[in-house]
Amino acid sequence: MSEYSTDKLGRREFLGAAATAGLLILKPGLVRGTAANSDVRLGLLGCGGRGMADVTSMITNGPARVVALADMFDDQLQAARKRLDKLAESKRQAGINASLMFRGPKAFQQIAECPEVDAIVVATPPYYHPEHFEAAVAGGKHVYLEKPVAVDVRGCQRVIRAGKKAEGRVSVDVGFQIRNAPPFVEMVRRIHAGALGQIGCGQAYYYAGFIKRPDWANASAAERRLRNWAYDRTLSGDILVEQGIHVVDICNWVLKAHPLKAIGAGGRNIRSDHGDAWDHYNATYFYPNNVHISFTSTQFIKGWFDVCERFFGSKGTSESHYEGGVKILGDEPWDAFPNPAASQGSGFSATGTFTGALKDADPEKHKAFLASITGDQLHSQAEQGADSALSAILGRTAAETGKEVSWEALLKSDAALDAKLDLNKLS
């Protein structure tokens, strides 16, 4: 039995609640040209920690095997191949053929055009997500696109357009795995059913420590930027868009809307790494019905880690932590973890793989993606992913400018970031 309580929520109901709307039912076997119950042949584009966590989970939790790898750097490819070949051996699967390992600035095109690949996990630096997503869709691949889908307005618009082209042809999932974490799914179901009454305001925060990366002392400045893209404001979108977006997405999910405007502040007071990413943000998001959400984030603190959302309503309050509980207090109380010890996790994860309340988030998310392919029930989360990315960009823009920024003004700006990197010089 599960260690969290969902009362009347069974597996069938959970999967229905967690699935994305807009499913298109096709005849079995038409999507990939293979038997509907055969392994999904995965290609991994971006062989870093999060991408490896994604495909490892897919292999472990669903009918999938990795057949192709793509990355800018050979050491990343070789390390990924070694780990995945070992996992494949334990699953009695074939290892990765050297001919299906693509390196350099054109690797994303090569894996997108590879006929041996059914689906691609895109886990490259976020700055490149729109281009890599477009290529994967153009190649007829199902896509698991890590968040954020883009780091600027123009990139989000590109993802939305490509997502529309994907509809009815391939499945597109975006890496907001918390939307599939059973405790969160049940909490949101109850909120939408009226457990909080009228929501008046909320609080959301992501308090994390510094993400330590190698120094790459012998690398050029450009290569160091790319390898340690999490330190770079343009390549990552900065900590609000790359990391804090998870709690922003949950706010959008709970409130069934994106923010109408935002004000904010932030800066780089503590960090001393070679990048230019800020180490803290503070923003107030204004949602429909005059609901204000206070958002804060850090990426430098020591000795503590917590991620949480609270919503305050006329009938009660909800509280949802990565670790430490998911519950509703008030007129309709509910607790996902009657045994508090079951809600405790193992601390911060740089790859985004958590225990505690998120123990089943990745497995359920990845199983749902694979099931949409093998069951020929295609769905697209591209627009939803872009909506949450734009919400995070709204807060970042307000903090950068020190001015109130509206949703309409943000979209009209068509803002685009320029990394000023020539990848051909790094190949």
| CATH classification at residue 163 | 3.40.50.720
What's residue 37's pLDDT? 43
Mean pLDDT of all residues in the chain? 91
Is the same domain home to 19 and 137?
yes
100-129 average pLDDT score: 98
Contact status, residue 323 vs residue 344, Cβ threshold 8 Å:
yes
- Residue 35 confidence class, pLDDT cut points 50, 70, 90: very low
What's residue 427's pLDDT? 64
pLDDT in tens, 357-414: 999 999 999 999 999 999 989 999 999 999 999 999 999 999 999 999 999 999 999 9
Contact status, residue 42 vs residue 96, Cβ threshold 8 Å:
no
Is the same domain home to 194 and 305?
yes
81-110 average pLDDT score: 96
Within-domain flag for 366: no
Is the same domain home to 343 and 200?
yes
Question: Is pLDDT above 50 for 21?
Answer: no
Within-domain flag for 6: no
115-133 average pLDDT score: 98
User: 233 burial class (0-12, 13-18, 19+ CB within 10 angstroms)?
Assistant: buried
What's residue 348's pLDDT? 79
The number of distinct structural domains making up the chain is: 2
Within-domain flag for 364: no
Contact status, residue 397 vs residue 415, Cβ threshold 8 Å:
yes
Is the same domain home to 286 and 401?
yes
What's residue 186's pLDDT? 98
Polymer length of the chain: 427
Boundary-marking domain end, from 135, 151, 177: 177
Question: Is pLDDT above 90 for 138?
Answer: yes
What's residue 302's pLDDT? 93
Within-domain flag for 2: no
Is the same domain home to 60 and 90?
yes
Boundary-marking domain end, from 156, 177, 198: 177
Is the same domain home to 79 and 206?
no
Within-domain flag for 225: yes
Within-domain flag for 363: no
CATH number at residue 396: 3.30.360.10
Is the same domain home to 199 and 157?
no
Is the same domain home to 166 and 209?
no
Question: Is pLDDT above 60 for 13?
Answer: no
pLDDT in tens, 47-59: 999 999 999 999 9
What's residue 12's pLDDT? 35
Question: Is pLDDT above 70 for 307?
Answer: yes
Give the Cα separation of 367 and 59 in Å (integer): 10
Is the same domain home to 190 and 119?
no
Within-domain flag for 242: yes
Segments forming the whole domain that contains residue 129: 11-177
Boundary-marking domain end, from 125, 144, 177: 177
Is the same domain home to 191 and 123?
no
Within-domain flag for 222: yes
Is the same domain home to 210 and 323?
yes
What's residue 89's pLDDT? 95
Is the same domain home to 64 and 168?
yes
